[in-house]
Structure formats: structure tokens, C-alpha cells
């Protein structure tokens, strides 16, 4: 069918009236009848609901879902269940796509109709300055079949490999729905790891495109994390969701270590009064310490072995110092 939807783009929306039009316009400029956009208004209190409705009135293949605020994970789930396409992409509402993105997607799908994932590069935009990412430096561009895809899987969450992000990948609908089976909508931080981790494990083939097609926007406000207890709870929900899928597989504890590293960085960037004591209390938690003990040191490079050792020895002051130095040189 000529007008059949091939790809659905899900955009979760909450308090982004300043950026939403830039995001949606970047997709409309390359849209045809085979692409649908699903705008999920997660109870946004600003002008976003009106902007969404205006787009839906103007374009037949833009759909809007207005829902009570339930958080990012809940909005992603709702949008995924609405998707009519055989493949689903996710775009954060303050990000935007480069021209040529959909031409690239259609070219790949013409040759590999039932492909499980497509992965493409991104660039960070910090205070309107673009910075290239190190995604896929360890991999060759092109198609990976059921045998060669194992090479891709081995680079998951390794610098230069495939990262734990959802917004620079396309998933087959069957993969996305499978990920939702393990999705806890209470996860407020790192919820895209459910998709990236499980999809990476499940995929039988993929296509790597090194060119950057996503502009990942980081503004001054998002650079400072408002760290609180919800952050810790969210990682606990994330761990339990992944535990349901992986059982006691070693990769589960490696992912848990990466989450802890992210948490240390968030504490370092926060406005907490006593970061050292706060981090010390987190690392003392029995469930966190036991999981870190199960991480295989031999699978880590020197830097990560050092960071893991400091976590196990509960040395937050040095951890925060290393994090501060890293952010400055980066």
C-alpha cells in the first residue's frame, strides 16, 4: 500500500514550548506519507498542548495523545502502543534531526525490510556549540547480519561502541513491544536503558550509520542535575526491570556499575550542600554494595577499574574529584 506507515516517531512532551517547534519542524521537512509523528503531551502545563493540536490539524500523519502527567517512561510507553509503523524511532522534544535522516532510513529499509535496529550518530549541542560524539568508532559502517551482529553487541556501553541511548536508534515494532514487557514506568532516570540493553540483546541484525543525524541538545539548565531520592529509587526500579530480563547474567552487574557511575556524576553536578556525605551514604547501601562486588574487574579498562575500586572502598571525595577533573578536560 502506497500510504502505509512504515516508521512512527514518538515524541514525549513536557514543558518544552521553547523547543518543540524546532523539533517537529525538523521532521516535517523530510516527512512523507510513510512516516507518522506521535506527539505525546504528558500533561504539559505550558503551551505545548496547543502547539501539538495545531500540528495535528495541519498534518494528517501527525497524531496527538493528551494524557495526565505520568513521567517520561509512561509517555514513551503510551506513544509506542499508539504507533502504526513497522519500525519506531524516538526523539526527545528539545532535540532535532538533521536533513536527510528519513532518506537514510528509507534507503536501509528498502534493502532490509524486517531489520531489528538501525543505529546512527549524534552530536551534542551545548550552549549552541556542536560536539561530535564517539559513537561507533569501534565499528564499521554498514549492515550486520545474524552472525556479525555479535561484534556489535560486544561494544554495548563501551566508549566508541553503541551507547545506552534510545534517541539515536530505530527499533522494529516487535523489539519495542518486547522491551515494554520489562518497562517500569516509575523509572524517571535512565529509562532508555531498558530499550537499549534489551534491544541490543534481542536484535538479530542491525545497520550502523556513522553520520550524525540527531542533535542532542543540552542547555544550561540541564547541565545541573537536581539530584534527590527519586534518583536512587529510579535506579532501583531500573535494576529490577533489567533483572527480570537478564536474571543473574554478568552484564546485569556491569550495567549496574555504569548506573552508579552516572549517579556519582549527577551528585557531582548537583547543588547538594554535602555531596561527599550524600554519596558515602549511597555507597553504604547494602544492595548497592553487593551488586558492585559482582562486577568483573577484568572486563573493565584501567579508569573504570579505578572508579569501581573507589566505590567499593567508599571513597566519595576522590570519586567526586576525578569526576570534576574529567568534566573540565572534556
Pull the grid cell for residue 296: 568483573
CA atoms in the 13 A half-sphere facing the CB of 81 = 10
Beta pairing, strands 62-66 & 96-97: unpaired
The angle, 0 to 180 degrees and rounded to 10, between the axes of the packed helices 250-269 and 286-293 is 130
| Residue 141 · residue 210 · CB < 8 Å | yes
pLDDT given at position 7: 98
pLDDT given at position 3: 66
Rg, the chain, Cα only: 20
Residue 91's H or E segment, with its range, is none
Segments in the chain below pLDDT 70: 1-3, 219-229, 326-330
Report which DSSP code applies to 19.
Answer: T
Task: State how far the Cα of 206 lies from the Cα of 320, in Å rounded to an integer.
Answer: 37
| Residue 167 · residue 91 · CB < 8 Å | yes
pLDDT given at position 226: 55
Sign of the Cα torsion 285, 291, 293, 296 reads negative
| Residue 14 · residue 45 · CB < 8 Å | no
The angle, 0 to 180 degrees and rounded to 10, between the axes of the packed helices 229-246 and 250-269 is 170
Beta strands (DSSP E) in the chain are 7-13, 35-41, 62-66, 87-90, 96-97, 117-126, 129-132, 142-144, 169-172, 206-218
pTM for this one? 0.89
Task: State how far the Cα of 222 lies from the Cα of 198, in Å rounded to an integer.
Answer: 27
Q: Which residue has the cell 573493565?
A: 300
Residue 29 CB partners (closer than 8 Å, separation 6+):
99
| Residue 35 · residue 5 · CB < 8 Å | yes
| Residue 205 · residue 115 · CB < 8 Å | yes
Amino acid at each position: 500500500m502506497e500510504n502505509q506507515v512504515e516508521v512512527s516517531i514518538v515524541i514525549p512532551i513536557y514543558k518544552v514550548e521553547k523547543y518543540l517547534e524546532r523539533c517537529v519542524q525538523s521532521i516535517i521537512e523530510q516527512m512523507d506519507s510513510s512516516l507518522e509523528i506521535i506527539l505525546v503531551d504528558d500533561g504539559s502545563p505550558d503551551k505545548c498542548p496547543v502547539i501539538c493540536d495545531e500540528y495535528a490539524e495541519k498534518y494528517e500523519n501527525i497524531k496527538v495523545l493528551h494524557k495526565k502527567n505520568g513521567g517520561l517512561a509512561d509517555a514513551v510507553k503510551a506513544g509506542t502502543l499508539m504507533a502504526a509503523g513497522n519500525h519506531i524511532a524516538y526523539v526527545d522534544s528539545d532535540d532535532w534531526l538533521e536533513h536527510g535522516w528519513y532518506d537514510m532510513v528509507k534507503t536501509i529499509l528498502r534493502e532490509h525490510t524486517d531489520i531489528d535496529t538501525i543505529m546512527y550518530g549524534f552530536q551534542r549541542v551545548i550552549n549552541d556549540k556542536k560536539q561530535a560524539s564517539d559513537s561507533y568508532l569501534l565499528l564499521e559502517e554498514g549492515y550486520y547480519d545474524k552472525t556479525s551482529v555479535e561484534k556489535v553487541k560486544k561494544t554495548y556501553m563501551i566508549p566508541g561502541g553503541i551507547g545506552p541511548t534510545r534517541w539515536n536508534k530505530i527499533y522494529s515494532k516487535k523489539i519495542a513491544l518486547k522491551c515494554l514487557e520489562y518497562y517500569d514506568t516509575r523509572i524517571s532516570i535512565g529509562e532508555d536503558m531498558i530499550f537499549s540493553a534489551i534491544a541490543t540483546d534481542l536484535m538479530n541484525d542491525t545497520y550502523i550509520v556513522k553520520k550524525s543525524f540527531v542533535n542532542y541538545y543540552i542547555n544550561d539548565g540541564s547541565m545541573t542535575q537536581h539530584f534527590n531520592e527519586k534518583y536512587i529509587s529510579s535506579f532501583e526500579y531500573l535494576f529490577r526491570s533489567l533483572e527480570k530480563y537478564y536474571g543473574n547474567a554478568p552484564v546485569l552487574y556491569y550495567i549496574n556499575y555504569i548506573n552508579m557511575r552516572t549517579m556519582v556524576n549527577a551528585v557531582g553536578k548537583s547543588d547538594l550542600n554535602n555531596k561527599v556525605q550524600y554519596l558515602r551514604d549511597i555507597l553504604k547501601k547494602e544492595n548497592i554494595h553487593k551488586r558492585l562486588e559482582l562486577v568483573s574487574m577484568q572486563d573493565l579498562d584501567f579508569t573504570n577499574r579505578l572508579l569501581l575500586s573507589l566505590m567499593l572502598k567508599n571513597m566519595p571525595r576522590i570519586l567526586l574529584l576525578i569526576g570534576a577533573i574529567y568534566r573540565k578536560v572534556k
